[in-house]
Amino acid sequence: MFDPEIEMLSKEKLQELQLERLKKMVKYAYNNVPMYRKRMDDAGVNPTKVANLDDFAKISFTKKDDLRDHYPYGIRAVPLVQINRLHASSGTTGKPTVVSYTENDLRTWGRLMARTYAAAGVTREDIVQNAYGYGLFTGGLGFHYGAEILGCTVIPTATGNTKRQLMMAKDMGSTVLAATPSYAMYLAEAAPKEGYDLQKDFKFKIGMFGAEPWSEEARQRIQNALGLRAHDVYGMSELYGPGVAVECIHQNGLHIWGDEFLVEVIDPDTGEVLPEGSYGEMVFTMLTREAMPLLRYRTRDLATVTWEECECDRFHPRIMRIKGRSDDMLIIGGVNVFPSQVETVLMGMEGVGDQYQIIIDRDILDKLQVKVEVDEKFFKSPDYNAAKFAKKLVDEMTAVMTIRANVELMAPGTLPRTEGKAKRVIDLRKE
Ligand code: ADP
Ligand code: ZN
């Protein structure tokens, strides 16, 4: 463990620490951020009298639009001179969402990332190849500094240049791969084509994969192909970046670092706070953020959170696998479909390649079309019968999702690959 004192806190002690920090943070936000002062005044919340989570829940949620409204520097509690770094998230429409960090924030985030690596079993002996994108995206620098603080040897290959990436991995003997799961999958596919032997040429032991949703079935594929243990890492730029939560070596849910983040799970439609263990939208409060305090930030990410003790002896609450974002949910002919459901079906089936694309077309009724690459070996084998295989996929998907999908089988290597986050859904209704 990187921070054993904090990581080993009992549930009671951890919740005590959360409440203590929360009270301080509420006052800090009130005194330093006009938006929060106004909201607390409007809700009749006296920041010096917030004594428990029920009092706290009277403060209204913070939303992504609130950050956009504070463009360019974002919600900010300190003068610009105290800001040490800015990052920004892509933002599909209009201006990016900018987030800021003080020197202390960067230190806190760096230490959280070091803890995140260590929880996954990474040590200072490891050689970390960081294939996340460096730049405004928090992935690159987040995974970079965390590994340095832990004392690892870091190779900042960044995303892309796959040939050089593979050469470095082999020649340097990288033991940890940090990348988006889609890029990890792409590397596994590219390596044999570049003449590498996946079993013999690489020393990868641990994968630090996140920044996008991926299914348990995709995990199995990546683990088998690269011969490593693949850990899920969750975060978002609004909450520093990666390192909000990570799977420990037991790979049974992602520990949210409870000393820095308070999580509530709400009903996304009504905003009601749900009891522990319910499925809903995660809402985060940052407990020590200086530059950009966030109270009750709506992530749009849907999951269940448990406080049960983990086999690793940590009590930091766990996110059981993230199903997707509420914004990603597709409503097709009145039925709710998550892209993750499609992935689960496809990646669990033999003969299906690693790439797929979901296309929603508007005809008279909304139509779901799925382009699926066939696994190379299967494609070339005498057993392959396209019509029969397509029917099998349609039946399986219909059974799970309750709506019919049209399946188009694609030859291996024909769908677009991504180096960063995959774009697997094309909604023609929105274009
Ligand atoms: P943007 O994509 O807008 O640039 P971020 O890079 O901060 O912003 O992305 C954050 C979002 O990515 C999260 O809200 C979540 O939906 C998704 N995400 C990040 N890590 C994971 C993960 N491990 N599993 C599922 N989704 C994830
Ligand atoms: Zn654990």
Q: What distance in angstroms lies between residue 249's CA and the mean position of ligand 2's atoms?
A: 7
* Atom from ligand 1 closest to the CA of residue 301: 16
Q: Name the H helices within 120-207.
A: 138-150, 162-172, 181-193
pLDDT of residue 338: 86
pLDDT of residue 153: 98
Residues 43 and 28 occupy one common structural domain: yes
Residues 274 and 373 occupy one common structural domain: no
Best substitution site from 209, 234, 294, 329 to test ligand 1's pocket, by max atoms within 8 Å of Cβ? Answer: 234
* Atom from ligand 1 closest to the CA of residue 241: 7
SS3 label, residue 136:
coil
Which of 326, 356, 383 finishes a domain? 326
Q: What distance in angstroms lies between residue 110's CA and the mean position of ligand 2's atoms?
A: 20
pLDDT of residue 336: 82
CATH number at residue 275: 3.40.50.12780
pLDDT of residue 324: 77
Residues 178 and 320 occupy one common structural domain: yes
Which of 286, 311, 326 finishes a domain? 326
Q: What distance in angstroms lies between residue 212's CA and the mean position of ligand 1's atoms?
A: 5
Mean pLDDT of 23-44: 97
Q: Which residue has the tokens 């960081």?
A: 130
pLDDT of residue 300: 94
Residues 312 and 405 occupy one common structural domain: no
Task: Label residue 431 by pLDDT band (50, 70, 90).
Answer: low
Q: What distance in angstroms lies between residue 29's CA and the mean position of ligand 2's atoms?
A: 32
Residues 166 and 57 occupy one common structural domain: yes
Residues 311 and 336 occupy one common structural domain: no
Task: Label residue 393 by pLDDT band (50, 70, 90).
Answer: very high
Task: Label residue 257 by pLDDT band (50, 70, 90).
Answer: very high
377 CB burial (10 A radius; 0-12, 13-18, 19+): exposed
Residues 322 and 334 occupy one common structural domain: no
pLDDT of residue 122: 98
Report whether pLDDT(93) > 90. Answer: no
The predicted-structure confidence for 405-427, as pLDDT tens digits, reads as follows: 889 999 999 999 988 888 899 88
Residue 88: nearest ligand to its CA? 1
Residues 384 and 257 occupy one common structural domain: no
The predicted-structure confidence for 34-63, as pLDDT tens digits, reads as follows: 999 999 999 999 999 999 999 999 999 999
Q: What one-character-per-residue DSSP string does 43-110 give? A: TT--GGG--SHHHHTTSPPB-HHHHHHTTTT-S-SS-GGGEEEEEEE--SSSSPEEEEEEHHHHHHHH
Q: What distance in angstroms lies between residue 281's CA and the mean position of ligand 2's atoms?
A: 22
CB 3 within 8 A of CB 111: yes
Nearest CA to ligand 1 atom 1: 89
Residues 55 and 79 occupy one common structural domain: yes
Mean pLDDT of 132-146: 96
Q: What mean pLDDT is reported for the chain? A: 94
Total number of domains constituting the chain = 2
Residues 174 and 91 occupy one common structural domain: yes
The predicted-structure confidence for 321-368, as pLDDT tens digits, reads as follows: 777 788 888 888 777 888 888 999 999 999 999 999 999 887 656 578
CB neighbours of residue 407 within 10 Å: 22
Distance between CA 219 and CA 230 in Å, rounded? 6
